[in-house]
Structure 1
Amino acid sequence: MKPESRQALLHVAVGSCLCVTAVYAGVFAGVFVQVGYEHYAEAPVPSLPRFLAMPFNSLVNVAYVLLGWYWLQRDKGTTGPRTRYLKDVFAAMALAYGPVQWLRVTTQAPSAAILDQWLTLPIFAWLIAWCLYLDKGWKPWLFLAIECLSLSSYSLALLHPQGFDVALGAHIVVALGQALRTHVRYSSASSHTYVALGVLSCLGFVVLKLWDHQLAQWRLFQQLTGHFWSKVCDVLQFHFAFLFLTNLSSCQRPHPGGKRL
């Protein structure tokens, strides 16, 4: 494994451990989260072990781990150590996020739900950071500031029951806006497809999750529920973000004010 890959894994591991410590120390004990199987359209199966109580909503989280491992191994589109670092941080985030999602589904514990929500935000923020790298060049302190701002935005959840929704909505809007801006500036033959599929996947991620119970009245969504398909869309938007950013990284024109990296 290359040094920048080890560094990326270390940074994500340290950041994740700090988040876990903060959550289990009770920093966000006042945050409102929905826990309990009644909040999912998929009915739990009593005969299965607890870690598979909702089999489809549990097993879909393996996809995050497989995605993260795939992109951690893939070097196509990485034009140097800095691009590889950006890619591997994103891949490590996927590797970490899958088990956290599974832990939430398995335990239905408030602390797991809080951790799941919190770790969602820096994933979207890293897409913003990577786009800014394409635009402005290598600025590690800027990327760190973006991630710290993203993590601190979860404090909105302490102020209002919908605080997390506001923070997540803002992350999605800014990430999509920055991705579209980067696409317009550095578009390639393939990036049009990746942007379109990424936006559709993001829309599916939001809508299918919100309409989980409403969709369950349709036979198509009674076993494989809206929440399950929302997770599928989440994995897909992750994948298309990788394709989009690595594609632009490999064919990017030199940005103003600096050399191409």
Structure 2
Amino acid sequence: MVSPMVKTFGVVSLVTAAMIYAIYLGYFDSVQTELGRQFYAERYSAKWRKILPPWLNMPYNTFVNFGYVILGAFYCAKTSVALERKQIQASDSYLFYSFNIMSTFYGAIQALRILTQFHRAAVMDQWYTLPFFMWVYIWSCHLDSGIGLKGMTFWTALSLLSYLLTLIHTHGFEIALAFHIAVAVYGAITIYRKFPIEEAQGPFVWALICCVGFVVLKLVDLELPKVNQIFEKISGHFLSKIADIFQIYFVNKYFEILTEHKHSIENKKKK
């Protein structure tokens, strides 16, 4: 019997491959992306130049992406343990696995963009960001009243198709991202109202703070070196990725707490 993690890995891989293929066919070649070192504050220091190859000219912004992979792998392992101990159900595990397998893929995609500065890698980086936020809403619906395969497919497809805005508007990605963030926050608040437990407040607030940090730090990346030269090494872009990794961690923690709480209530009713 195929395990839930293997099934989920197959589905996420298939969707990711379809996205890559669509980009390969050139459907998004007209999308505007930021390419080149001029869009990043990080500077290649003499220290790194002696150690690293010339093509690895933004080491901090490259290596930070391992954080996504490590965190995703950690939560996949944690989900497997929780499933084995029957702390969560198989339907819950699909949500955890999907979110964290996406995290591992996202780390690789972002590293590829930093290293190559290819337009199509930048498109994939942008596009892959959107399902992350939509998954928070899907997760909330699952805990609320169940969403089912059709519901998951609909909202995921809507999320992916929203990237088509980039073909009709210069700021199409920003519009789509703002919509996704709003939907994610709405979903998280809605499910908290159903299960208003104090333990979940901290992860929710920290996830929100990290989300703001993820957006703002990236926007001010080129401005921060004017404040202090340290931001030419520990750049705003690098710090935004740190905030993003912690955002993924706190989202996991939030839904972990709510999932366990929901099952606790259900088990008490059965007794």
TM normalised by structure 2 equals 0.90
- Residue 57 (structure 1) aligned with residue 67 (structure 2): no
* Unaligned residue ranges in structure 2 (runs of 5+): none
Residue 50 (structure 1) shift: 5.0
**Counterpart position of 2:71:** 67
Residue 155 (structure 1) shift: 0.2
Alignment of 1:110-121 (within 5 A): 110-121=119-130
Q: Counterpart amino acid of 2:259?
A: S
**Counterpart position of 1:19:** 19
Q: Counterpart amino acid of 2:27?
A: V
The verdict on how the C-alpha distance between 1:251 and 1:85 changes in structure 2, with shifts beyond 3 A counting, is same
Q: Counterpart amino acid of 2:19?
A: C
TM normalised by structure 1 equals 0.93
**Counterpart position of 2:202:** 193
- Residue 238 (structure 1) aligned with residue 248 (structure 2): yes
The verdict on how the C-alpha distance between 1:29 and 1:233 changes in structure 2, with shifts beyond 3 A counting, is same
Which contiguous aligned blocks of 4+ residues in structure 1 show a shift greater than 4 angstroms? Answer: none
**Counterpart position of 1:94:** 103
Question: CA offsets per residue over residues 98-155 of structure 1, 9 Å max, x none?
Answer: 0100000000010000000001101111111010001121411101110000000000
Q: Does structure 2 retain, via aligned residues, the 8 Å contact 1:45–1:54?
A: no
**Counterpart position of 1:134:** 143
The verdict on how the C-alpha distance between 1:74 and 1:158 changes in structure 2, with shifts beyond 3 A counting, is same
The verdict on how the C-alpha distance between 1:74 and 1:176 changes in structure 2, with shifts beyond 3 A counting, is same
Residue 252 (structure 1) shift: 1.5
In 2, Cα distance between the equivalents of 1:164 and 1:207? 16
**Counterpart position of 1:4:** 4
**Counterpart position of 2:177:** 168
Residue 178 (structure 1) shift: 1.2
In 2, Cα distance between the equivalents of 1:29 and 1:10? 27
Q: Counterpart amino acid of 1:107?
A: T
Identity rate of aligned residues, in percent? 33
Residue 253 (structure 1) shift: 6.8
In 2, Cα distance between the equivalents of 1:241 and 1:2? 27
* Unaligned residue ranges in structure 1 (runs of 5+): none
In 2, Cα distance between the equivalents of 1:96 and 1:205? 18
**Counterpart position of 1:84:** 93
Moved more, 213-222 or 18-27: 213-222
Q: Does structure 2 retain, via aligned residues, the 8 Å contact 1:23–1:111?
A: yes
Q: Counterpart amino acid of 2:240?
A: S
Q: Counterpart amino acid of 1:72?
A: C
- Residue 229 (structure 1) aligned with residue 239 (structure 2): yes
Q: Counterpart amino acid of 1:43?
A: R
**Counterpart position of 1:39:** 39
CA RMSD of aligned residues (A): 2.0
Q: Does structure 2 retain, via aligned residues, the 8 Å contact 1:64–1:235?
A: yes
Aligned length: 257
SS in 1 for 2:198: coil
Moved more, 177-186 or 195-204: 177-186
Residue 227 (structure 1) shift: 0.5
